[in-house]
Amino acid sequence: MTEKQYNCTELLSPIEKAKGAFWGAAIGDALGWPYEFRASRVGSTDSLFGKDGLQFHSWVRKSGGRYYPYDEEIRAGEYSDDTQLILATARSLLVEEKRWVKHFTFVELPLWSLYERGGGGATKRAAEAWLTGKEPWSGFLKPMDIKRYFDAGGNGVAMRIMPHVVCQSAQREFSIIAREVVVNGICTHGHPRALVGALAYAYALWLAFREESTLKYGELLDQLLSSVGVWSILPSVESEFPSWGQMAKKYIRDTYSSLWQETVNEMVKLLGIGREAMKQGALSVDRETLERFGCFDKKINGAGTVAAGAAIFLASRYAADPLHGILEAAFSQGADTDTIASMTGGLLGAIAGTEWLDPIRRQLQDADYLASVAGVITGENRDNSWQPANLPLFPRRINKKDIDEILERLSKCKEGDIISLENQAEFNVIKIIQHPKRSPNIQATSWKLLWFGGQTIYVTKIRRLQDFSSTQETRTTLFDHAPAHSEMLPVTTIKTKVKLPVSNLEKSRRFYEKALGLPVSEESENFVSFSGIISLVKKSHESEILKALSQERKYNIFSIIHIETSSLEATRENVRKFGVKILQSGKDNERGPKYFRCLDPDGNIVEIFESIKIA
């Protein structure tokens, strides 16, 4: 224990606990995000935090994945997907209390795919499925995708279910909350690890909200272990999702109930590890305990059970010293720190209220909005400053067309604009950001928006510059004035093949011939042709063509389309009629065939050679 402790001598109000939970979760998320094992942080964390650790700092993450890399600055106090999904759950409960799951799956998850920051794979895949109007276990999806859904046991459920407990904290029976938690969970995850972990965490939150005095050291763990039969029951979800149970039977290796019980036993074992560490008191080392939980094992540290066990352990250990607890979670480098710190902070906020968060909460992104949502969801707004968050009703399911429309409107906006949607919701465009790029062909633009009455989001659109600059210029020049219905001359095509410039002809030959099984039909020192369709050529061939062509325009040379025809002049005339400029024409050599080169609609070089009959 540290010197400063937060033993509550006064009874905390429900709204004080709710604000503490929302703020604590978001602060833990923001503090822990740079340390997350998959944060793709640029540089080290050595200079991120001050001596006491209790401050936010800006940092840079590599975003866009392997193919669209760019640097994204995360401003001090900004949170990730954990807090975004907490707010998405809260809004669903506030907008349609009895039909919240419809709002969550029809509106919140599809919209979240537009602005997610650091989201997990399972949740993103599920959001994309809901965006297309399909449940992530739908039989209309590929069997491999359905299997991935039922294999998804990550902490993406446990991280977001806190609003269910805040909204229903007065319930005398946990079963009502448990059912909502599982219904919420299966919207994105199908494996019991995700759902059991969420239930254990929800039960710990429920105990914290109902506790009227300071929890004793280790009391939270003790109560969970003595009430396993209460929080570990799998409720029925048939009324919300009639097909889910049948699909679970089809895709789970054993019966779902047996896998569920295995996972409950796993959760109980983790809680037992925590209680064992608590008995050691000051002698226990948090990192060693978290290591026993599996928090630093990359194979399992994202599991829902692991995150729940770690958060419950740290909240039990530091109930009287919550600042220490949230920092231990946030700075456990190598663990899923943003989620564990968020869940720990949510629990500690429900236990200790808000006073312990005063030194840092004003630096937190959307602190007022989080407090507003907490106030509304408890139904106990204390004064006129507590106004309900602006929660617009969407009249229908959000689909891909809606997302594309938002992106299109953003691409035409400027800072300060207000974009209104059909449901009267508004996006305030705060800032337009052009990110530093890691590839010369990539441009990433983000729009910093304020919406839903006070939440800050970032919407990012990535484009390949060749698609929007040189190639777009080429398309406009070549095709915009092409006649719609030109009479074309008849053409006889003899042979068509695609030339692929390669760096290592022999290595590429082995790949296509040996690995892919394509038969070699023709070869020379400079090329290898397979079945007369694909022809590998040395990279120097590409360079020679570019050197011969005009340098005024950059060409798309991912591939070179090679066509041989007995009607060269007719083909040339057709190309001209289409409005395409001939880039180059001539003879391959003194005795070789005539040819010309132009571009196809995508900017690829197309070369048309006259076929020479050999007597």
**How buried is 55 (Cβ within 10 angstroms: 0-12 exposed, 13-18 middle, 19+ buried)?**
middle
Angle value at C-alpha 119, between 84 and 143, nearest 5 degrees = 125
Q: How is residue 389 written in tokens?
A: 């968050």
Give the number of other Cβ atoms within 10 Å of residue 540's Cβ: 11
- Residue 388 is predicted with a pLDDT of 42
Is residue 497 within 8 A of residue 609, CB to CB? The reply is no
Verify that 318 and 455 share a domain, yes or no.
no
For the full predicted model, state whether its pTM sits above 0.85. Answer: no
Read off the pLDDT of residues 575-609 as tens digits, 9 standing for 90 and up: 887 777 788 888 766 667 889 998 776 566 778 88
pLDDT band of residue 380 (cuts 50, 70, 90) is low
pLDDT in tens, 3-21: 345 554 468 999 999 999 9
> Can you give the residue range of the structural domain that contains 502?
472-610
How sure is the predictor about 467, in pLDDT bands with cuts at 50, 70 and 90?
A: very low
Rounded to whole angstroms, the Cα distance separating 497 from 558 reads 14
Percent of the chain with pLDDT over 70: 82
Residues 362 and 421 in one domain: no
CA distance 257 to 234: 8
- Mean pLDDT lowest among 365-379, 477-491, 589-603: 477-491
Together in a domain, 191 and 299: yes
The C-alpha atoms of residue 409 and residue 105 are separated, in whole angstroms, by 24
* pLDDT > 50? residue 26: yes
Examine the domain organization and report whether 424 and 531 are in the same domain: no
| Number of separate domains in the chain | 3
Chain mean pLDDT for the chain: 85
Q: Are residue 421 and residue 527 in the same domain, yes or no? A: no
Look at 168 and 487; give whichever has higher pLDDT.
168
Whole-number Å distance between alpha carbons of 457 and 524: 57
Q: How confident is the model at residue 44 (pLDDT cuts 50, 70, 90)?
A: low
pLDDT digits (tens, 9 = 90+) for 499-544: 878 778 887 777 567 755 678 888 887 788 887 777 888 877 766 6
Provide the pLDDT for residue 604: 66
Task: Give the end of a domain, one of 463, 488, 513.
Answer: 463
Q: Can you give the pLDDT at residue 217?
A: 82
Q: What value does the mean pLDDT take over residues 375-386?
A: 64
Let me know whether 306 and 415 are in one domain. no
Answer yes or no: do 216 and 340 share one domain.
yes
Return phi, psi of residue 574, to 5°. -65, -40
Identify which of 84-98, 125-139, 427-441 has the greatest average pLDDT: 125-139
CA-wise closest residue to 512 among 496, 524, 527: 527
Maximum mean pLDDT: which of 49-53, 162-166, 374-378, 519-523: 162-166
- Min mean pLDDT across 114-118, 401-405, 496-500 is at 496-500
For residue 160, count other CB atoms closer than 10 A to its CB: 31
Is 200 part of a structural domain of the chain?
yes
pLDDT digits 0-9 by tens, 139-195 = 999 999 999 999 999 999 999 999 999 999 989 999 999 999 999 999 999 999 999
Report whether 429 contacts 417 (CB < 8 A).
yes
Under DSSP, is residue 130 helix (H, G, I), strand (E, B) or coil? helix
- Report the percent of the chain where pLDDT is more than 90: 56
CA dist., res. 119 & res. 116, Å (int): 6
Q: In the predicted model, what is the mean pLDDT of residues 341-345?
A: 98
Q: Of 446, 463, 480, which closes a domain?
A: 463
pLDDT for residue 575: 82
pLDDT at site 38: 67
How far, in Å, are 200, 471, 599 from residue 606 at the CA level? 62, 14, 5
Residue 109's CATH number: 1.10.4080.10
Q: What pLDDT does 468 receive? A: 40
Residues 174 and 314 in one domain: yes
Q: Does the structure show a pLDDT above 80 at 54? A: no
Domain limit, last residue, from 412, 446, 463: 463
In this structure, the answer to whether residues 177 and 279 fall within a common structural domain is yes
CA distances from 381 to 86, 336, 389 (A): 20, 34, 12
Does residue 1 lie within any of the structural domains?
Answer: no
Residue 314 has pLDDT above 70, yes or no: yes
Grade residue 341 by pLDDT with cuts at 50, 70 and 90. very high
CATH of the domain at 446: 2.30.30
Residue 389 lies in a domain: no
**Is 393 inside any structural domain?**
no
Asked if 492 and 346 sit in the same domain, the reply is no
What are the phi and psi torsion angles at 207 (to 5°)? -60, -40
Categorize the per-residue pLDDT at 382 as very low, low, confident or very high, splitting at 50, 70 and 90: very low
Q: Which of 265, 262, 306, 269 is nearest to 156 (CA)?
A: 306
In a domain, 384, yes or no: no
Comparing 559 with 392, the larger pLDDT belongs to: 559
- State which of 156-160, 394-398, 400-404 shows the largest mean pLDDT: 156-160
* Residues 63 and 109 grouped into a single domain: yes
In a domain, 3, yes or no: no
Tell me, yes or no, whether 8 lies in a domain.
no
Domain shared by 504 and 427, yes or no: no
Residue 385: predicted pLDDT:
41
Confidence (pLDDT) at 278: 92
283 confidence band (pLDDT: 50, 70, 90): low
Q: Which position has the token pair 């964390």?
A: 45
In a 13 Å sphere around the CA of 515, the CA atoms on its Cβ side amount to 7
Question: And the tokens for 296?
Answer: 């630093």
Q: What is the pLDDT of residues 214-263, one digit of tens each?
A: 778 888 999 999 999 999 999 999 999 999 999 999 999 789 999 999 99
Quick check: is 257 in a domain? yes
For 481-511, b where at least 16 C-beta lie within 10 A, e where not — what string?
Answer: eeeeeeeeeebeeeeebebbbbeebeebbee
Q: Cα separation of 63 and 444, whole Å?
A: 10
Q: What is the pLDDT of residue 536?
A: 83
pLDDT for 562: 82
Q: What is the mean pLDDT of residues 59-75?
A: 89
